Every structure is written in structure tokens, then in C-alpha cells.
Amino acid sequence: MKQANKLIDKFGRQVTYVRMSVTDRCDFRCVYCMDEEMTFVPRAQVLTLEEMELIASVFVELGVSKIRLTGGEPLIRKNVMGLCDALGAMPGLEELVITTNGSQLGKYAGNLKSAGIKRINISLDTLKAERFKELTRVGDLAKVLVGIDAACQTGFEKIKLNAVILKGRNDDEVIDLVSFAIEKKIDISFIEEMPLGSISSHKRSETFCSTDELKGIISKRWNVISAPVSKKIAGPSTYFKVAGTQSRVGFISPHSHNFCGDCNRVRVTAEGKLLLCLGNEYSADLKVVLRKYPGDRQRLKQEIVNAMELKPERHYFEHNNDEPDIVRFMNMTGG
């Protein structure tokens, strides 16, 4: 049986970054993330926070240095701050970060920083209240803006906005979103819509907006320095400095500029599936091991190590295809 202290796939890439979904539920229903009528995982099938902590600790033993908590919306999970505190104090974990829709930050920003979270990503696709309600179906922009201000005042090392741009829906706000980030002295990343789950709100082939198009829009207003800014720990964003400001603009381009070659990431869903690639269904079921062999760290570790053989070389998203490449929705995948 293969033994290892590091997670290295068959293409020689070492996994050092885990995105862990604490819930598939959310207080928003964003049009690119969920369908209007969603069926969520029954609560009994969702990992307990203690199970998530155990999985995280085993990953750290295997050389993972960065964990990102995601959802759904992670901050609506009951008692999630206990998990944040446990992971923030975990020996060997160099970086604990979180992605949130911002709705709960007014309440939790200070607690997150106290738990050891130094960097935070906040989803924000529009600065127009009515449009925000349309894109999220239920969200309140004012509450998110209060959350962003709370995060800025709390003093995280880095705050980054994430924006998914859809042609005909919010592509007229690219300049406004960058200006907002510059005003707040924070970063922003633009994300190409990912074809996960079958949605009814729009045709993806018609709303797709590429990184190159976004760069062209931004470059008409600002001098965007072409050399990517170096990052402490690799992720899918390619960053560029906006000259004369404290802000960076990032681009996550799963369609137009595939970032698979140096992928160092895997995902754990709220129900315990270890997803080896965002754009494939290859997975291992960690919950089966956890519940059949409670507390057996070695068996869990071996399951994770063996799963590295399933990690594919790349994904094959097709932006001109209205049929989803993957049937699971983004909220199930974990950010």
C-alpha cells in the first residue's frame, strides 16, 4: 500500500491547499451558483464540525499549509466559529482563509480575525441594489456593504472582492467595481462563470465574459502593470497591479486561460466528498471512512493519499455550451 507524507499526484503536482465547504446552504440564491429551487443535502449527511476538524488535521499532516473555508455561505453554519478557532490554532497550518458573501461579516469580522484568519474573500457582483437583488434573488446589498466596511475596519492582512461578470447583466459595472476596490484599498478578482449545475436563469454561452475582454475594459481606464504580482501561496488567480493604487486586479480564467498546470488544490464538500478537480467528477468519499472507522486517522490519511491517483491533468470547460459540464452546483462544490 502506498505511503506518503506529502500529497503528490501522478503529474508531479503537490497539493498544499484545501478548500473545505462547511455547508452547501446559503442565505443567497445567486443565479450562477444555484437554481431557483434547490434541494440541499440532508443535515444528517453533512459532516459534523468535529469531522471537518479531523479531516483538516490529517491534511496538515500530509503537507497542506493553506485551508480555505467556503460554502454555500460558511458563516451561516451553526457554531462555525468553533471550527475557525480550532483550525486557527492548528500546528502546521500556515494560512487559514475564508470566502463569504459578506452578509454576516458585520457580526463575525472581529471573531474571524481573533480566530487567526488573516485574509478574506468577499463575493460582490454589483453595486446596484436592485440588480443585487436580481442576481442573488434574495440578497440585501446594504448588508453586504456594511460587512465589507466591518472587514476593512477589523484590519485583515488582505481583503479581496470576487466578482462574476455576466454579459448583459453586470458587465457595465466592471469599472465601478474596480473603482470601489481602489477606494477601499482592497483587491478584486474577476471570475469567468463556471459551468456547474443546470440553471434556468440565463444561457451561459450568451452571458460568458472572458478575462481578455475584462482586461480590455479595465485597461482603458487604468494602467494595469502586465507583470503578475507574486503571491505568497499559489491559487487560481493571476494578479496585476493597478498603477498608482494599493489595489490589485486578479483574473480567474477556467475557460480562456487554463490554470491546471500548476494546480495545488483539492476540495472537500460539506458531505465529505474529496473532489480532486473542480471540472471533473473524480472523488473519494471521506465520510464513509470517518463513520465506518471513527477516529482512525491512519485509514483516513491513506484514503486521501490514494485519492491523489484520481486527480486529472486538467479540466475541459466549454464556454460555448449551454449544457453544464458538471451537474453539481457551485454551492455543492465549495466555492
Report the pLDDT value the prediction gives residue 121, as an integer from 0 to 100: 97
pLDDT at residue 226, as a whole number: 66
Predicted confidence at residue 30, as pLDDT, reads: 83
> Which pLDDT score, from 0 to 100, does residue 331 have?
44
pLDDT at site 147: 98
pLDDT string in tens for the chain (335-residue length): 455 689 999 999 999 999 999 999 999 888 887 776 667 789 899 999 999 999 999 999 999 999 999 999 999 999 999 999 999 999 999 999 999 999 999 999 999 999 999 999 999 999 999 999 999 999 999 999 999 999 999 999 999 999 999 988 899 999 999 999 999 999 999 998 765 444 444 455 567 788 899 999 999 999 998 656 555 545 567 889 999 999 999 998 765 455 566 789 999 999 999 999 876 778 999 999 999 999 999 999 999 999 999 998 865 545 455 444 444 344 455 55
Note the pLDDT of residue 43.
87
Q: What domains can you pick out in the chain, each with its CATH number?
A: 17-333 (3.20.20.70)
- For 184, counting Cβ atoms within 10 Å of its Cβ (0-12 exposed, 13-18 middle, 19+ buried), the class is middle
Tell me the longest C-alpha to C-alpha distance in the chain.
Answer: 58
Helix (H, G, I), strand (E, B) or coil at 256: coil
Specify whether the backbone of 123 is left (phi greater than 0), alpha (psi in -120 to 50) or beta.
beta
Q: State the alpha helices, DSSP H only, in the chain.
A: 49-61, 80-88, 105-114, 129-136, 141-154, 174-184, 204-207, 211-219, 286-292, 297-307, 330-333
The residue among 98, 103, 102 whose CA lies nearest residue 120 is 98
Cα(first)–Cα(last) distance of the chain, in Å? Answer: 33
| Site of grid cell 500556515 | 94
Rounded Cα distance between 312 and 304, Å, is: 15
Report the pLDDT value the prediction gives residue 278, as an integer from 0 to 100.
76
Locate 185 and state its grid cell. 484599498
Q: Which residue has the cell 449551454?
A: 322
Predicted model pTM: 0.86
Per-residue pLDDT, 62? 97
Q: What is the pLDDT of residue 324?
A: 43
pLDDT of residue 183: 98
The three-class DSSP label of residue 268 is strand
Cell numbers that stand for 200 in this block: 434556468
